[in-house]
Every structure is written in structure tokens, then in C-alpha cells.
Amino acid sequence: ESGHSIARPAACGGRVPPQRTVLGETSAVPMHREGAIMKKKILVVGGGGREHAIIKALKKSPDCGEIWCAPGNGGISYDAKCKNIKSTDVDTMVGFAVEEKFDYVVVAQDDPLALGMVDALAKAGIPAFGPDKAAARIEASKVFSKDLMKKYGIPTAKYETFDDPAKVMEYIKAEGKYPVVIKADGLALGKGVLIAETREDAVAAVESIMLDRAFGDSGNQVVIEEFLTGPEVSVLAFTDGKTVRPMATSQDHKRALEGDKGPNTGGMGVYSPVPIVTDEEHATMVAVMEQTVAELAAEGIDYRGCLYGGFMLTPAGPRVLEFNARFGDPETQVVLPRLKNDLVEVMLACANCELDQIELDWRDEWAVAVVLTSAGYPGSYEKGKVITGIEDAEAMENVTVYHAGTAVVDGQLVTNGGRVLAVTALGDTFENARNLAYEACEKIDFEGKTLRHDIGLRALRGRDAWDA
Ligand code: AMP
Ligand code: GLY
């Protein structure tokens, strides 16, 4: 079919001439048909709490028609049709999207982005939310993203990169200042960052990444960087490659145990906004996000979708710890409930280079999410435990339960992962939101239910709580 392959207009810099799509409309993603709103049939790729939050937000839009999720999960199946396709199976996913004639696909997970799912969808004529393969490298290769930051003077930890295990061992032997941070170059399910307190730790970390190949090819190169201190803040931003619209700040709690102890996890709780950020720090972080998109464009990389800046507020100012090419999990579960805009409209504007037409608008309420996990997580844990009480929690005003590791088996909702649920509450004060989230968590039960009781506590105590 002629005109079938133009799902992605040229870079915004050269402003896009109207283009015809297979649907015969005059923009990349048709917005309206004969004056009437044309509801979009949307597919969300992924199956965690983040995807559940994206789906619930999309469904509030009058432009949202049929909504699907692949692979989805038990709880998502109450809100969207689910199709069991692995999110890394690009060919099958794109084939499914073509067959079902989706108007728009939201690629929410890192792996399919790194594999080029957005490129493959564009080739098949389907517009998508998310960066293409070249742009997704900002997350998929830490060497690429650190080198980009260095080249353009974006504030980040000092670092060296290595592809030769012998060279890195030499470097470690000469390094006198510990701790140091050792990162596998590629994607590693959030586990590829090791903090070495001593030279022995550093040697062990490099052995595990480069010699034992704990993260496979992701460990072909390593980054060794300076250890920074301070509170962490996530700044997610929508971008169409030219305009950058930062979302409200949020703060994840990555460690498994209270007091920020224990191993790193996918995230045990989160809140938004972050009250301890100064106006000056906020302005710096926003400027960094804008600069990064502009420098990517200068490199010929047209970044569209959500860019996630992971910052540390060091005594010398905010420093980028990492960029992610997608929404954060669990950050999304507190940021999107506070977004007043129509998410379908915002996402289409990112793909269509029309983000300059949109200003984001935020609810004044605070949002706090507490993650309920299976006992043992992030180590091994049991699955298949019956979950009760979600209806009671959701019957509470201003409470939403987002599903991560859940499944429906014989009509019953059971646990099916390490992070099971994220319980989000909105409140007129931080404290009220926090108390409500914990009250809601008490209504929910399953064997092995585990949670941190100190989500947001440090922020409530103020900035000094990070100096202790
Ligand atoms: P990343 O995936 O690069 O964000 O790293 C995961 C976590 O490791 C971060 O959220 C920080 O808690 C920690 N981390 C990463 N880089 C550094 C650094 N340079 N100094 C101190 N902690 C770090
Ligand atoms: N919350 C951390 C991440 O999404 O990478």
C-alpha cells in the first residue's frame, strides 16, 4: 500500500510537512475524522506496575478507544485486553500490531526499545511512543551515555570506560579512593551497578561482570565512576526531539530494607513531588534535560518519547547518575496520577512533533506509592499466593492499586513476581498521602507480603536527614 510506511515524521527541527498515512489522514497520527474525535486503538508493550499506570491514565482520555497490553498481567487484564507476547519478541509484537490495526503503540519497557521495536513499528506503518533504537542507546549503553555527557559538559560523575579486563584490573590496583562505582555497559535488569567499598570488592565486581559474564554481553564493557552522595531525584520528561516538557519530580526507594539498607531492587516505594529539591536544583535538572535532547539532536539522534533523568543532588549541585529511555517504575505510579493533561494527546504530540503546543498541568495533591513485594525479593521468592483485600483498598477514596507481579489463575488473583503491587494514595499533604497509602496497604494481604514502612520518611524530616 502506498503511503503505508510514514509513521514517523521527519525530525521536528525541519518541521514536518503534513504526511499521508494509510488511514488517509494528514498527520502522522490522525487526531480527528470529519470534525469528530476518532478514538485510538492503543497497544501498550510491557507488563508491570508502570504499564498499568500508563493504561489507567490513557483510559481517562476521551480519545482512548480499545486498549490492549502485551504481555500484560493479572491486574492489567481488568483494565485492558491482554495478549501473551513476550515484550522482547519484536517480530511477533509488530505482526500482532499490524494484524489488529492499532493506531498507536506505547513501548514502555527498556528491552524492546533497545531492540528497535519502535523502528520496526514505523516500518510497518504504526506510530509509537518511545525512542527509536539509536536514541534508546542513552539507556542501553552506559558508555555511550557517559561519553555523550562528557562531550557536552553535562554534569555527571567522573569516569573511565574499559573493554579489556586486564586494563581495568590495572586501573583498580592503582585507584586509591574507595568506594568506587562499577557499572556494566548494557541493560542488566537494574542489577548492573555495583558499589565497591574496597579494592577486593572492585576486583570481585569486575570478575563477575567481565569474566563470569553475570550480565552476558551487557558486561563487554564497564564504566568505573566516582562515588557521589546526596538524595536521588528522578525527572521524567516528555519530548518530541525538540521541545522538552519535564514532569513532576519523584523519588524512588531502591534498597530492599528500611533505612536504605540491603540490596538494590526495582523500587520499593516512591513519592511525588520531591519537597527537598531547591528551585535552583530544579532549574539545573530541567536545563540538563533540555540540553541532553538538544545535544542528541546535534549528534543526529531524534529522541522522542519519555527521557528519564536519574539525578543525585550532590553538595556541588545535581549530577546525572543515568538516563533511561522510558518511564520509571515505580515513578510512573505517582507521576501520572498527578498529571491533569490528556495522556493520549501528550503522547501523540511527542510522536507528531507537536509538543510545543502542550503545557503540562499538575494536580496539587501529593502522591505516595508503597510497593508490596513477595518475601525474599530481590532474591528468590514463591509465587501463586492468593491476594485478598484489593477491592477494600481501592474502595478508599484517592487510592489506586497498580499491579506488577500478579496473575489470574482459575479466576483467582495470585502473586506472580517479586514486586506484586504498588499502592498509590493522593493527599492534600505529604503526610496525609503517606498515611493513606499505608492504611490501604493494611487492607491487602497475601502470604509473604513484605513492605518498607519508611517510604518518604526522610523527605518528611527534611534535607538534613540525608546528612546523617
Ligand atoms: P543507575 O542504574 O546508574 O542509576 O545506578 C543504580 C543506583 O546505583 C543509583 O540509583 C544509585 O543509588 C547508585 N549509583 C549509581 N551511580 C552512582 C554514583 N556515581 N555514586 C553513588 N551511587 C551511585
Ligand atoms: N525506578 C528506577 C527505574 O525505573 O529505572
DSSP for 115-163 reads TTHHHHHHHTT--EES--HHHHHHHH-HHHHHHHHHHHT--B--EEEES
The neighbouring-strand residues paired with 16 are: none
Mean pLDDT for the stretch of residues 88-93 = 98
Residue 7's pLDDT is what?
62
What pTM was computed for the model? 0.93
Q: Residue range 182-197: average pLDDT?
A: 89
Give 449 Cα–ligand 2 centroid separation in angstroms. 22
Report CA(134)–ligand 2 centroid distance (Å). Answer: 20
How far is the centre of ligand 1, averaged over its atoms, from the C-alpha of 126 (Å)?
Answer: 36
Q: How far apart are CA 205 and CA 199, in angstroms?
A: 10
Q: Is the CB of 196 under 6 A from ligand 1?
A: no
Q: Ligand 2 within 6 A of 329 CB? A: yes
| pLDDT tens by residue, 399-442 | 999 999 999 999 999 999 999 999 999 999 999 999 999 999 99
Q: pLDDT digit string (tens) for 295-323?
A: 999 999 999 999 999 999 999 999 999 99
Least confident of 108-117, 183-192, 290-299: 183-192
Instruction: Report the mean per-residue pLDDT for the chain.
Output: 92
Categorize the per-residue pLDDT at 74 as very low, low, confident or very high, splitting at 50, 70 and 90. very high
Range 265-290 average pLDDT: 97
Ligand 2 centroid – CA 282 distance (Å): 19
Q: Is 328 in the pocket of ligand 2 (CB under 6 A)?
A: yes
Nearest protein Cα to ligand 2, atom 3: 328
- Residues near 27 by Cβ (< 8 Å), separated by ≥ 6? 9, 18, 19, 21, 352
pLDDT at position 190: 76
CA 193 / ligand 1 centre spacing (Å): 7
Most informative mutation of 150, 193, 313, 466 for ligand 1 (most atoms within 8 A of CB): 193
* Nearest-angstrom CA–CA distance, 92 and 70: 11
Q: Is the pLDDT of residue 20 over 90?
A: no
Which ligand 2 atom minimizes the distance to the CA of 270?
1
Residue 327 CA, ligand 1 centroid: distance in Å: 17
The gap from C-alpha 294 to its chain's centroid, in whole angstroms, comes to 21
pLDDT of res. 174:
87
Ligand at minimal distance from the CA of 311 is 1
User: Average pLDDT for residues 141-149, to the nearest whole number?
Assistant: 95
Residue nearest atom 5 in ligand 2 by C-alpha distance:
328
Please say whether the beta carbons of 424 and 402 come within 8 A: yes
Question: Per-residue confidence at 15, pLDDT binned at 50, 70, 90?
Answer: very low
198-205: list long-range contacts, CB under 8 Å, 24+ apart.
199/172, 199/173, 199/175, 202/172, 202/175, 202/178, 203/169, 203/172
Q: Between the ranges 10-14, 23-27, 221-225, 307-311, where is the mean pLDDT highest?
A: 307-311
Residue of 324, 334, 335, 455 to test ligand 2 pocket, by largest number of atoms within 8 Å of CB: 324
User: Which ligand is in closest contact with the Cα of 194?
Assistant: 1
Predicted local confidence at residue 390, as pLDDT: 97
pLDDT given for residue 17 in this prediction: 35
Tens digit of each residue's pLDDT (9 = 90 or more) over 337-389? 999 999 999 999 999 999 999 999 999 999 999 999 999 999 999 999 999 99
Best mutation site among 51, 113, 234 for ligand 2, i.e. most ligand atoms within 8 A of its Cβ? 234
Which grid coordinates belong to 223?
564504566
Ligand 1 centre to CA of 143 (Å) is 15
Rounded-to-integer distance, Cα 87 and Cα 94, Å: 10
> Mean per-residue pLDDT for 57-66?
97
Over residues 77-82, the mean pLDDT reads: 97
Has residue 271 got a pLDDT over 90?
yes
Evaluate: CB of 265 within 6 angstroms of ligand 2: no
Cα angle: 92, vertex 97, 101; to 5 degrees: 150
Whether 31 has a pLDDT exceeding 70, the answer reads: no
Please report the pLDDT score of residue 28 as a whole number.
55
Which distant-in-sequence residues (6+ apart) come within 8 Å of 294 by Cβ?
none
pLDDT value of residue 27: 44
Per-residue model confidence (pLDDT) at position 38? 80
pLDDT at residue 117, rounded to an integer:
98
324 lines ligand 2 (CB under 6 A): yes
C-alpha cell, 74: 493479572
CB burial of 308-325 (b: ≥16 within 10 Å; e: otherwise) equals: bbbbbbeeeebbbbbbbb
pLDDT-based confidence at residue 274 (cuts at 50, 70, 90): very high
* Predicted confidence band of residue 176 (pLDDT cuts 50, 70, 90): confident
CA of 84 to the centre of ligand 1 (A): 33
Question: Is any atom of ligand 1 closer than 6 Å to the C-beta of 248?
Answer: no
pLDDT of amino acid 261: 93
